[in-house]
Amino acid sequence: MEEILFSIRNCIERGKINKKSPHPADLRDQDGADELTLKAIEQGIPIDRILQDGLIQAMYNVGERFRNKQIFVPDMLMSARAMLAGMEHLKPFYSSKQIKPKGTVIMGTVKGDLHDIGKKIVSMMITGAGWEVIDLGTDVSTEKFLQSLSSHPDAVIGLSALLTTTMQNMEMTVKDIKKFSPATKIIIGGAPVTLDFATKIGADAYSPDPQGAVEFLNRLSILKN
């Protein structure tokens, strides 16, 4: 059991998606996160252990390495894709309630901003940490955030902006969400965003990196439970 869980973690951390993936070179023609996750399920390893000790632990390690500048954005993207390949095999267990997500996060890049890469990376990291993510995409209006929040009233909101010119829209969105649902937690991020700005506009948290967002959400989950 421990050997296959280690192999899943290794594949995710090194970005080995499946057997056909040429990267990394020393794992060429070997099973990737896709095949190994399926094998772990077929061997009867508890689903929660596959998730916690395989996928979630791997993405935690990836997040720490990114934070410490040991890996960079392309490496993180490869790891996230490997994690998602394994996660596909676990989705039926979410539907059957054998796996319960820690919570729901509604993610979106604010109105007027079309940048998507950073938000996608954070979304994939949050998914890898055991949360359900509803990704609204880019150029998301306040109304669209509120509509999604109406359907998922317990969700956390994640807002992204990469342009200083769209930070004003982020401020307006935060204020409108808080007016609509004062208890809703909001975390913001993006290249021009700072902790001071988050405090100024009334957001509940700011993170300069994906791991910080995951840590904030996990603290919320602990407090909730």
The pTM (predicted TM-score) of the whole model is 0.89
Q: Write down the domain spans for the chain.
A: 2-95, 104-224
- Protein fold of 2-95: 1.10.1240
Query: What is d(CA 10, CA 16) in angstroms, rounded to the nearest whole number?
Result: 8
Tens of pLDDT, residue by residue over 52-77, are: 999 999 999 999 999 999 999 999 99
pLDDT tens by residue, 162-189: 999 999 999 999 999 999 999 999 999 9
Fold for 104-224, please state it: Rossmann fold (3.40.50)
98: helix, coil or strand?
coil
First vs last Cα of the chain: how many Å apart? 29
- Whether 57 contacts 131, CB under 8 Å: no
